[in-house]
A and B are shown apart, each in its own frame.
Chain A
Amino acid sequence: MGVGIEVASLNAWFGATQALYDIDMKVAANHATAIIGPSGCGKSTFIRCLNRMHETIPGTRVEGRVTIGERNIYNGTSAVEVRRRIGMVFQKPNPFPTMSIYDNVAAGLKLNGFSGGRKLDEIVERSLKQAALWDEVKNDLKKKSGASLSGGQQQRLCIARALAVEPEVMLMDEPASALDPISTSKIEELIFQLKEQYTIVIVTHNMQQAARVAEFTGFFLMGKLIEFDTTQKIFTTPSDKRTEDYITGRFG
């Protein structure tokens, strides 16, 4: 089951440049929350703070509190431990190129010391089914490399890979922006189904996408969270002028 996320006065820096200013947000469990905003507004930085990926870039810094479930992830827990519980899907599909489809899905478990044997087969199958990729690859699981799939399939493979470790939260950083419309709609359908089991935070450039998949939407501008509300409210009667300007296409 998914868990909720509570972000309190989160600040993030790249070197001396501040990228996020005092973000407060409550992400509801088992719902999809969309993050929208123009390029460079800090959307990606924000979700990369939710699984402590931000700090993997040299010279970066984070302050504030992020509570996932019951735990503040910036207090005492190891980053590796945090990332095991929070799956991430990136903008560009990034399967491990020299691994088979099977090994790609199993990578998170195997490399963390899981040796389930038969059980691993089940997990791989279940994850690929959840990611709606199973039927397309079930005959080539160990024969083909992850890199031999099409872009849309690769992205679903990456989703299966993230699901295999059974995270509580799924972070998606523009998961469909590099894909064609058909693959995009497959990914969106997937998000719909995944919501039942996971809490999803999705960054997107595509406002229709946010409207289609997410119950809640946050609008970021220049490192600040301008407005956070139900998607319905944000797209019909936003309370901030800047949100309205952005969603009506007046800038950004």
Chain B
Amino acid sequence: MPKRSIRYWWRELADRAATALAVLAVVLVLLPLGAVFTYLVMKGIGSLNWAFLTQTPKPVGESGGGMANAIVGSGIILAIASAIGVPLGIGSGIYLAEYGRGRFGDVLRFTADVLNGVPSIVVGIVVYGLVVVTQKHFSAFAGGIALGIMMIPTISRATEEVLLMVPNNIREAALGLGISRWRSTLSITLRTAYSGVITGVMLAFARVAGETAPLLFTAFGNQFWSLKPNQPTAALPLQIFVYAISPFDEWHRLAWAGALVLIALIMIAVTAVRVVAARGMLKGTA
């Protein structure tokens, strides 16, 4: 083996040091996530049982009860939110990436960024004024609109970013085949950027799934089953909020269990979408 110079050892050392720093950064990022999850499990697992997942809240003083109505309510509200936020977000993202070169595109981009920065409670108040007041009652529908509005800018900008990453020669290949522009955008460009779009949607979904403030005066919350979208509806974050600020130890424990269930459900939903989305992938797909 040839004799190794000092410069060689120095390079080796620098390489190791850089790798170590990168690993350290990863650990530091994972640490808070691990801490949050561990603490939630410790606090919440004790109160988590079948009743928690299948029963509605019990009146003050009675022990037991659960958050089944809040789990289902969150599901209803998030379904409505996604039905509004996903198509509008992806649609405007497509517009920005494929057509939005001019002034209108810049205005739209700026609007999306501002909307992204609007505090969630403000979105809640606006929807309260526009939907709840005119309908004269709280509803899952109003909650869904509030969360849906909050999903739009995240999905829109994420879609724009990943569509712009699709090489232009892919678009040219499609146009060269005599495929019309809209068809090529939907079936080729969007399909190529598909996994990135899914990531954007999941980010937006996970973010609004835990939102409490915009639901306070839109979905409002409900101690009973409410499966109709035009009625006040319970949601996990709301229920956690109400229980956590209550003076009762029993409710505090239920709030911890609720928080654990919320995190678990978000993780399950995100993973499920990833798995389903990955199923269509082919060998060698970049």
Q: Which residues of A contact B (CB under 8 A)?
A: 51, 53, 56, 58, 80-85, 87-88, 90, 92, 94-100, 107-108, 111-112, 140, 143-145, 147-149, 158, 161-162, 165
Contact status B183-A111, CB under 8 Å: yes
- For A94, the chain B residues whose CB sits under 8 A away are 167, 169-170, 172-173
Known A90-B172, A147-B286: A97·B192 in contact at CB below 8 Å = yes
Q: A96-B174, A144-B284, A147-B284 are in contact. List 14 more A-B contacts (CB 8 A).
A: A51-B176, A58-B101, A80-B179, A90-B169, A92-B169, A94-B173, A97-B285, A107-B174, A107-B179, A111-B174, A111-B179, A111-B184, A112-B178, A148-B284
Contact status B180-A90, CB under 8 Å: no
**Quick one: which of B174, B175, B284 has the most chain A CB within 10 A?**
B284
B277 to chain A, nearest CB (A): 11
- Complex Cα gap A92–B167 (Å): 11
- For A111, the chain B residues whose CB sits under 8 A away are 174, 177, 179, 183-184, 187-188
Contact status A84-B284, CB under 8 Å: no
Known A90-B169, A90-B173: A145·B285 in contact at CB below 8 Å = yes
Q: Which residues of B contact A (CB under 8 A)?
A: 101, 167, 169-170, 172-181, 183-184, 187-188, 191-192, 194, 281-286
Closest A residue to B180 by CB, please name it.
Answer: A80
Contact status B175-A53, CB under 8 Å: yes
Contact status A112-B192, CB under 8 Å: no
Contact status B172-A143, CB under 8 Å: no
- For B181, the chain A residues whose CB sits under 8 A away are 80
- Complex Cα gap A94–B172 (Å): 9
**Quick one: which of B178, B191, B192, B286 has the most chain A CB within 10 A?**
B178
- For A149, the chain B residues whose CB sits under 8 A away are 284
- For A148, the chain B residues whose CB sits under 8 A away are 282-285
- Complex Cα gap A99–B174 (Å): 13
The 17 sampled A-B contact pairs (Cβ below 8 Å) are A56-B172, A58-B101, A82-B178, A83-B177, A85-B178, A90-B169, A94-B173, A95-B173, A96-B170, A96-B191, A99-B282, A108-B177, A108-B179, A112-B178, A148-B282, A149-B284, A161-B177
A100 to chain B, nearest CB (A): 5
Known A96-B173, A97-B170, A111-B184: A83·B286 in contact at CB below 8 Å = no
Closest A residue to B283 by CB, please name it.
Answer: A144
Known A112-B178, A112-B179, A147-B284: A99·B191 in contact at CB below 8 Å = yes
Instruction: Kindly identify which residue among A83, A84, A143 contacts B282, using a CB–CB cutoff of 8 Å.
Output: A143
- For B187, the chain A residues whose CB sits under 8 A away are 111
- For B173, the chain A residues whose CB sits under 8 A away are 90, 94-96, 158, 161
- Complex Cα gap A182–B260 (Å): 60
Contact status B284-A98, CB under 8 Å: no
- For B188, the chain A residues whose CB sits under 8 A away are 96, 107, 111
- For A82, the chain B residues whose CB sits under 8 A away are 178
Instruction: Kindly identify which residue among B176, B179, B191 contacts A88, using a CB–CB cutoff of 8 Å.
Output: B176
- For A53, the chain B residues whose CB sits under 8 A away are 172, 175-176
- Complex Cα gap A140–B283 (Å): 10
Instruction: Kindly identify which residue among B176, B179, B283, B284 contacts A90, using a CB–CB cutoff of 8 Å.
Output: B176
**Quick one: which of A98, A162, A165 has the most chain B CB within 10 A?**
A98
- For B179, the chain A residues whose CB sits under 8 A away are 80, 107-108, 111-112
- Complex Cα gap A224–B101 (Å): 32
- For B281, the chain A residues whose CB sits under 8 A away are 98
- For A96, the chain B residues whose CB sits under 8 A away are 170, 173-174, 188, 191-192
Contact status A97-B177, CB under 8 Å: no
Instruction: Kindly identify which residue among B169, B177, B184, B283 contacts A143, using a CB–CB cutoff of 8 Å.
Output: B283
Known A111-B183, A111-B184: A83·B176 in contact at CB below 8 Å = yes
B97 to chain A, nearest CB (A): 14
Contact status A144-B282, CB under 8 Å: yes
B276 to chain A, nearest CB (A): 15
- For B176, the chain A residues whose CB sits under 8 A away are 51, 53, 83, 87-88, 90, 162
A146 to chain B, nearest CB (A): 8
Closest A residue to B102 by CB, please name it.
Answer: A58
A58 to chain B, nearest CB (A): 7
**Quick one: which of B169, B173, B194, B286 has the most chain A CB within 10 A?**
B173
- For B180, the chain A residues whose CB sits under 8 A away are 80
A22 to chain B, nearest CB (A): 26
Closest B residue to A51 by CB, please name it.
Answer: B176
- Complex Cα gap A183–B145 (Å): 56
